Structure 1
Amino acid sequence: MSTIKDVAREAGVSIATVSRVINKSPKASQSAFEAVSRAMTKLGYRPNAAAKALVSQNTNTVGVLVSDVSDPFFGALVKSVDRIARKNGKHTLIGNGYHSAKEEKESIELLINNRCDALIIHSKGLTDEELIGYANEVKSLVIINRHIEKLEGRCVSLDNYKGSFLATEYLIRHGHRKIACVSSNHDIEDATERTRGYLAALKQHNIELPKSYVEYGSPDSEGGELAMSNLLTKSLDMTAIVAYNDNMAAGALAAANENGIAVPEQLSVVGFDDGLIARYVHPKLTTVRYPIEMMAEKAMNIALDLAKDNQPEPEPLRFSPTIVRRDSVVKITG
């Protein structure tokens, strides 16, 4: 394999000149650029990315940490980050954290060690203090889907409480009072805030329901199906379901269908996220829109500004959810 010394010898220039050409330094003359380019082509020399980074202080990579890139929600996040990165001539490295503190820490440190120009971090396993420590180390680190007061201006988040409140209130305004909640069993802020929003909407409308109206499961279709089956086993008098996310809502729809319960005629269902699945289940799912693509683009632009030592314009970074009306909710009277 050819080395930079071989290229310098073939081109008849110094190693320093080859380095300047590789890193597109304005100090490299046109003749030197042509001679070095010919030599690299002849020898099949490919500049080492790490060596280039050491000279330019720029790796042209950005890092993104998500829970699980196979989840469509996180896939959409990564795609939006990558779109902005590519517009800026950069490529994306991806780490999976699986909501585990150990996995998240290992992934973040790997991305830092790869000297990424910017980092977008979706973390639920690490503490605020640990994330603040990483943010102090990496000036271009931005956190998504989480708000840390000490990192205000570098956190792009959604009001999960408001989203669940809106979903529950939407059902109440359609005449429902016996509303159950299918929530996530993950010990993360999103789950806590969404359950809290559901309970707050009930309270504001003077609706009192036993704790048995809240059932928990893994935040996927299987968890939603199991939670719905548990609700049905309790023989609860319910006319509607608020689900933690669209996947759990899809599982709840499957369990209802298997038990001969027509949606929305006998049971209305509202999801959360407005992912692709919401448009392809039957009936199409009324849900809460989580603007993850918009949020990811915002986070990436902020991170790139910070990497260039540009201070982003101050603006609200907490996004508001909205209701997307489809076919899974019916108005009842009486």
Structure 2
Amino acid sequence: MITIREVAEQAGVSVATVSRVLNNHPSSSEKARLAVQSAVEKLGYHPNANAQALASQTSETIGVVVTDVTDPFFAILVKAVDKVAETHQKTILIGIGYHNAEKERKAIDTLLRKRCSCLVVHSKALSDDELRGYLARISGMVIINRVVQGYENRCVSLDNKKGTFLATETLIRLGHKHIGYIGSNHQITDETERIKGYLTALEHYHIPVSEHFIAHSSPDFEGGEEAMINLLSYNSDLTAVVAYNDSMAAGAISVLNENNINVPKQFSIIGFDDMPIARYLIPKLTTIRYPIDLMATYAANLALSLVDNKVKKPVHIQFNPTLVRRFSTENFL
């Protein structure tokens, strides 16, 4: 491998001069620039990216921490950040947390060791105090899908409560009075906020709620199946369900079909997230859109701007959920 010292010897200049030319430093003379460029071409020299990062205390990468890259939700998040990175001639490095504090911590620390000056972090397991510690040290770190007190202006979130309120209200306006809720068994703020939106809507419309109308399980297809089985076992009068996410809604629909309960003629269901699966279920799923693509794009641009000191006073951005009406809901008479 050709070194910078060999380039300097070929060009007849110092190593420092080669470094200045390669980094487009204004103090480089035209004569030195031409000599170095000629030596670089003749020797086929390629600058070492890691060495450049160490010298500049930065790198051409954006770090992204997500829970699970196999989940379509996080795949969309990563793709959105990657598009922003490409626009700025950067690449991305990915860390995976799996809802585990130690793994989230390791993912962040690994990206920092790789000189990622910009980080978009989706963390659910680390405490607010630990995240505040990272935010205090890393000026280009942005938290997505969570709000950390004291750093609200570097957090990008969704109004989850509003989303499930809207879903429940939609079912009420369709005539449903016995509405269940399928929630996640993960102890995270998303679940806390979403069940609160469901309960708030019922209270607002003076509809009583039973503890047997609520079931929790893993936030995936299998969890949706298990939760729907539990709801049907306890209740014979349920006519609708609000699900924590689209995967759980898909599992619930599968159980309803197996029990010859027609969706939507006999039973309506609304999901959350508007993932691609929602458009291909039978029937196509009415759901709450989670604009994670827009949120991730905003978060990545914010992280870059913070590092470049282009944002003097960023503001907390909370995105709004919207209803996507398809065919899993119908008027109930």
Identity across the alignment (%): 53
- How much has 1:312 moved relative to structure 2? 5.0
Cα shift readout 1:245-273 (whole Å, capped 9, x = no counterpart): 01111111111112211110111010001
Q: Give yes or no for contact 2:228–2:255 (8 Å, CA) kept in 1.
A: yes
Q: Give structure 2 stretches of 5+ with no counterpart.
A: none
* Separation in 1, partners of 2:2, 2:258: 65
Instruction: Confirm or deny that 1:188 pairs with 2:172.
Output: no
Cα shift readout 1:41-98 (whole Å, capped 9, x = no counterpart): 4434321112112333331211111111121111111111111122122111111111
Instruction: Confirm or deny that 1:5 pairs with 2:5.
Output: yes
| Corresponding letter in the other structure for 1:263 | V
Q: Name the stretch that deviates more: 56-65 or 38-47.
A: 38-47
| Corresponding letter in the other structure for 1:106 | K
Cα shift readout 1:81-121 (whole Å, capped 9, x = no counterpart): 11112212211111111111000000111111222121111
The equivalent of 1:141 in structure 2 is 141
The equivalent of 1:48 in structure 2 is 48
The equivalent of 2:325 in structure 1 is 325
* Separation in 1, partners of 2:286, 2:156: 25
Q: Please provide the CA RMSD for this pair.
A: 1.6
Q: Give yes or no for contact 1:23–1:55 (8 Å, CA) kept in 2.
A: no
| Corresponding letter in the other structure for 1:139 | S
Q: 1:312 to 1:80 in 2, by over 3 A?
A: farther
Q: Give structure 1 stretches of 5+ with no counterpart.
A: none
Instruction: Confirm or deny that 1:25 pairs with 2:3.
Output: no
Q: 1:33 to 1:254 in 2, by over 3 A?
A: farther
- How much has 1:20 moved relative to structure 2? 1.7
Q: Give yes or no for contact 2:13–2:32 (8 Å, CA) kept in 1.
A: yes
The equivalent of 2:76 in structure 1 is 76
- How much has 1:235 moved relative to structure 2? 4.2
- How much has 1:29 moved relative to structure 2? 3.5
The equivalent of 1:218 in structure 2 is 218
Report runs of 4+ in structure 1 exceeding 4 Å deviation: 312-316
| Corresponding letter in the other structure for 2:159 | D
- How much has 1:227 moved relative to structure 2? 1.2
The equivalent of 1:128 in structure 2 is 128
* Separation in 2, partners of 1:292, 1:59: 26
Cα shift readout 1:109-153 (whole Å, capped 9, x = no counterpart): 111122212111111001111000000000111111111221021
The equivalent of 1:66 in structure 2 is 66
* Separation in 2, partners of 1:315, 1:174: 38
Q: Give yes or no for contact 1:305–1:312 (8 Å, CA) kept in 2.
A: no
Q: SS of 1:63's equivalent?
A: strand
Q: Give yes or no for contact 2:54–2:115 (8 Å, CA) kept in 1.
A: no
Q: Please report the TM-score for the alignment, with normalisation by the length of structure 2.
A: 0.95
* Separation in 2, partners of 1:262, 1:233: 17
Counting only pairs closer than 5 Å after superposition, residues 109-188 of structure 1 correspond to structure 2 as 109-188=109-188
| Corresponding letter in the other structure for 2:299 | A
Aligned length: 333
- How much has 1:234 moved relative to structure 2? 2.6
Counting only pairs closer than 5 Å after superposition, residues 276-291 of structure 1 correspond to structure 2 as 276-291=276-291
Instruction: Confirm or deny that 1:96 pairs with 2:96.
Output: yes
Q: Name the stretch that deviates more: 289-298 or 226-235.
A: 226-235
Q: SS of 1:6's equivalent?
A: helix
Q: Give yes or no for contact 1:213–1:236 (8 Å, CA) kept in 2.
A: no
* Separation in 1, partners of 2:109, 2:57: 18
Q: Give yes or no for contact 2:158–2:320 (8 Å, CA) kept in 1.
A: yes
Q: Please report the TM-score for the alignment, with normalisation by the length of structure 1.
A: 0.95
* Separation in 1, partners of 2:22, 2:295: 36
